[in-house]
């Protein structure tokens, strides 16, 4: 029985490095994409190595299949992460279009192309009232035959915007001033508040950082602390558990903190 258990531990200890290699490659890829900081990458790498070592040399042979199962189960997060990253990439493209529109509007606030580009992004993101009020002054007075497509698009927006609540305005993230629909820059501080609002959902800490942080913290919570609690030396268990709690708290703060937004 003990021989079979030892052979099973050895087999799983060797096999576990395959999903761990997948994790490490994914973390490197996310670092290249800008989703991970180098500190989070290093922490994730050492957590992966530690998890592989724990699977090969578990405190109790019965832990080996549990650890292996946790590693394999974590791979199920990858499809979810890929979908989330793809969605964020599309959002980044939309914000890039809005940034281009703002760059043109700094020179000419009545530029039809820039106003329509910004309005389309805003409408797609649910800022319906803002989209209508930004496009409207640029279209007024123009011959319909010259801007027929833009007018049809604008009229479709207006047809959908029957709820007065859509025209309540948007608060500036910089100074919290409520700006009426149609404003491009904050009436109080001059910030590009609509651009800041569009950036909001994905300009904060990277999704990859949060995913790796959750993985590392799960290792500490379900593996590191229980393993430390089995130490029998005087003061060893409390000291190691306390160290893991402190390290986990510091790592959580670093990995999950919000990055500042450029204005």
Write the pLDDT tens digit of every residue in 70-95. 777 777 777 777 777 777 778 888 88
Same domain, 71 and 162: no
Residue 239: CB partners within 8 Å, gap ≥ 6? none
- Give backbone dihedrals phi and psi of 143, rounded to 5 degrees, phi first: -60, 130
In a domain, 150, yes or no: yes
In a domain, 220, yes or no: yes
Same domain, 54 and 143: no
The residue among 23, 59, 21 whose CA lies nearest residue 214 is 23
Residue 204 structure tokens: 């904060």
In a domain, 263, yes or no: no
Same domain, 211 and 139: no
Q: Is the per-residue pLDDT at 177 higher than 90? A: yes
**Helices within 106-201 (DSSP H only):** 112-124, 128-139, 148-160, 193-199
Last residue of a domain, one of 199, 218, 233: 199
Q: Quote the CA–CA distance of 83 and 197 in Å, as a whole number.
A: 23
Which residue range is the domain that position 142 belongs to? Answer: 91-199
User: Which pLDDT value is given to residue 263?
Assistant: 39
Same domain, 144 and 226: no
Same domain, 30 and 96: no
In a domain, 45, yes or no: yes
In a domain, 80, yes or no: no
Q: Are 138 and 112 in contact (CB under 8 A)?
A: yes
Residue 226, judged by CB atoms within 10 A of its CB (0-12, 13-18, 19+), counts as middle
In a domain, 81, yes or no: no
Residue 215 structure tokens: 């993985």
Same domain, 147 and 103: yes
Residue 130 confidence class, pLDDT cut points 50, 70, 90: very high
Partners of residue 179 on adjacent β-strands: 170
Q: Is the per-residue pLDDT at 259 higher than 70? A: no
Last residue of a domain, one of 181, 199, 217: 199
User: Which pLDDT value is given to residue 255?
Assistant: 67
- Give backbone dihedrals phi and psi of 182, rounded to 5 degrees, phi first: 110, -25
Our CA dihedral for 144, 148, 151, 155, rounded to 10 degrees, sits at: 110
Same domain, 191 and 224: no
Total structural domains within the chain: 2
Same domain, 173 and 116: yes
User: Which pLDDT value is given to residue 101?
Assistant: 93
Same domain, 144 and 218: no
Same domain, 178 and 116: yes
Write the pLDDT tens digit of every residue in 5-64. 566 677 777 888 888 888 888 888 878 877 777 877 888 888 888 878 877 877 677 777
Same domain, 194 and 212: no
Q: Quote the CA–CA distance of 67 and 2 in Å, as a whole number.
A: 19
* Cβ atoms < 10 Å from Cβ of 7: 10
In a domain, 17, yes or no: yes
Of 86-90, 141-145, 232-236, 251-255, highest mean pLDDT: 141-145
- Give backbone dihedrals phi and psi of 230, rounded to 5 degrees, phi first: -90, -5
Same domain, 103 and 179: yes
Q: How many alpha carbons fall within 13 Å on the CB side of residue 92? A: 12
């Amino acid at each position: 029985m003990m021989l079979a258990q030892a052979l099973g531990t050895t087999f799983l200890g060797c096999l576990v490095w395959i999903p761990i290699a997948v994790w490490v490659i994914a973390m490197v890829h996310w670092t290249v994409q800008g989703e991970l900081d180098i500190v989070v990458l290093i922490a994730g790498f050492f957590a992966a190595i530690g998890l592989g070592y724990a699977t090969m040399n578990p405190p109790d042979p019965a832990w080996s299949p549990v650890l292996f199962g946790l590693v394999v189960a974590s791979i199920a997060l990858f499809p979810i992460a890929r979908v989330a990253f793809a969605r964020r990439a599309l959002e980044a493209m939309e914000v890039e279009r809005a940034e281009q529109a703002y760059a043109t509007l700094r020179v000419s606030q009545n530029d039809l192309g820039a106003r329509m580009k910004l309005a389309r992004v805003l409408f797609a993101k649910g800022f319906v009232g803002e989209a209508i009020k930004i496009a409207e002054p640029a279209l007024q007075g123009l011959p319909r035959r010259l801007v027929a497509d833009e007018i049809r698009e604008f009229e479709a927006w207006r047809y959908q915007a029957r709820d007065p609540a859509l025209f309540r305005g948007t608060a500036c993230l910089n100074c919290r001033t409520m700006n009426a629909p149609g404003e491009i820059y904050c009436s109080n501080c001059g910030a590009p508040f609509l651009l800041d609002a569009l950036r909001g959902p994905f300009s904060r800490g990277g999704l990859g950082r949060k995913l790796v942080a959750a993985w590392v913290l799960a290792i500490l919570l379900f593996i590191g602390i229980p393993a430390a609690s089995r130490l029998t030396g005087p003061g060893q268990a409390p000291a190691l558990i306390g160290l893991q709690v402190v390290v986990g708290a510091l790592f959580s703060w670093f990995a999950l903190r919000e990055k500042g937004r450029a204005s």
